[in-house]
């Protein structure tokens, strides 16, 4: 960890062994948003209904779960020594640091392109791989090293890739990073869930319109304005004012 700390990573390192992770569970941002993506992830109000008067661009000032698990000293050195360029992996390590199982001719690696990508550095112009339930440089998705810093991805960075806002805090009874990665990897990305819910809502609304009886249609109802807003939100034209059974209750 001293080797990592000397490289001035953005995650402060715990060197006294008092906890099971490296980094900070709660911290202030060190700079304003540097991209539109960062700005959107920092918004206090994540889901805004089109036309809503409550729309707000207020940003939060606290970052959660910017932590990674601890590795043994040998793997820490490997993380630090992989060439600091996008796309580099364990093949760029000095021979003495190359894992036998990834390089030896007698190993299965010789039949699998040397397991290219393990201890791999991300490409800022490429695709982010699937966020798995475990973050391991020698795991199924070993491209987990930053291209410009000598460290692995944090829980927060994986959560951002899944579409979680920075306001969402991942919890574990003993602050186990493995539990947090499990939550991230098993989750449905919130933007995907939101998009699907809008499509389902529109389909249900269209179905209701198609099967509405005369008793459900009225030129003047108390909920007409609400239904107009709803229809505009899902891009549905309402030929009549509709009395909603849900709103009537």
Beta bridge pairs of residue 242: 217
Q: Are 123 and 208 in a shared domain?
A: no
**What average pLDDT score do residues 179-208 get?**
89
Identify which has the larger pLDDT, 110 or 203.
203
Lowest mean pLDDT among 12-16, 166-170, 227-231: 12-16
Q: Are 37 and 156 in a shared domain?
A: yes
Q: Are 109 and 71 in a shared domain?
A: yes
| Among candidate residues 187, 212, 228, the one where a domain is terminated | 187
Q: Are 50 and 124 in a shared domain?
A: yes
- The whole-angstrom distance between residue 215's C-alpha and the CA centroid of its chain comes to 47
How many beta carbons lie within 10 A of that of residue 141, not counting itself? 17
**What average pLDDT score do residues 192-207 get?**
86
| Among candidate residues 187, 207, 225, the one where a domain is terminated | 187
pLDDT in tens, 84-130: 999 999 999 998 998 888 877 777 766 767 778 899 999 999 988 88
Q: Are 217 and 94 in a shared domain?
A: no
Q: Are 83 and 196 in a shared domain?
A: no
How many beta carbons lie within 10 A of that of residue 91, not counting itself? 17
Q: Are 161 and 210 in a shared domain?
A: no
Beta bridge pairs of residue 228: none
Q: 3-class SS at 87? A: coil
Q: List the structure tokens of 101.
A: 């199982």
Q: Are 199 and 164 in a shared domain?
A: no
| pLDDT at site 225 | 55
| Among candidate residues 187, 217, 238, the one where a domain is terminated | 187
Q: Are 117 and 230 in a shared domain?
A: no
| pLDDT at site 15 | 41
> Which residues span the domain enclosing 11?
2-187
Q: Are 182 and 225 in a shared domain?
A: no
| Residue 67, domain CATH | 3.90.120.10
| pLDDT at site 11 | 44
Number of domains into which the chain is organized: 2
Helices (H), the chain: 2-6, 36-42, 73-81, 100-103, 155-161, 177-186, 190-211, 224-233, 245-248
Q: List the structure tokens of 138.
A: 């020698």
Q: Are 105 and 211 in a shared domain?
A: no
The answer to whether the CB of 227 falls within 8 A of the CB of 244 is: yes
Q: Are 129 and 177 in a shared domain?
A: yes
pLDDT in tens, 120-176: 999 999 988 888 899 999 887 889 999 999 999 999 999 999 999 999 999 998 889
Kindly report the pTM of this predicted structure. 0.75
């Amino acid at each position: 960890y001293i080797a990592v700390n000397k490289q001035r990573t953005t995650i402060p390192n715990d060197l006294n062994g008092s906890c099971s992770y490296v980094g900070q569970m709660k911290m202030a941002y060190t700079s304003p948003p540097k991209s539109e993506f960062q700005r959107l992830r920092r918004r206090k109000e994540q889901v805004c209904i089109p036309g809503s008067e409550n729309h707000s661009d207020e940003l939060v000032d606290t970052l959660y779960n910017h932590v990674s698990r601890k590795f043994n000293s040998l793997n820490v050195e490997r993380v630090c020594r992989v060439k600091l360029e996008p796309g580099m992996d364990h093949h760029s390590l000095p021979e003495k640091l190359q894992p036998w199982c990834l390089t030896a001719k007698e190993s299965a690696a010789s039949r699998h392109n040397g397991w290219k990508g393990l201890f791999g550095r991300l490409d800022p112009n490429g695709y982010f791989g699937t966020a798995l339930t475990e973050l391991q440089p020698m795991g199924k998705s070993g491209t987990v090293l930053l291209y410009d810093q000598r460290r692995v991805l944090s829980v927060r960075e994986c959560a951002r890739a899944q579409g979680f806002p920075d306001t969402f805090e991942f919890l574990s009874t003993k602050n186990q990073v493995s539990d947090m990665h499990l939550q991230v990897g098993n989750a449905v990305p919130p933007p995907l869930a939101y998009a699907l819910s809008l499509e389902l809502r529109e389909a249900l609304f269209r179905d209701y319109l198609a099967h509405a009886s005369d008793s459900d249609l009225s030129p003047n109802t108390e909920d007409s304005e609400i239904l107009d807003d709803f229809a505009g939100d899902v891009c549905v034209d309402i030929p009549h004012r509709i009395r909603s059974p849900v709103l009537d209750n």
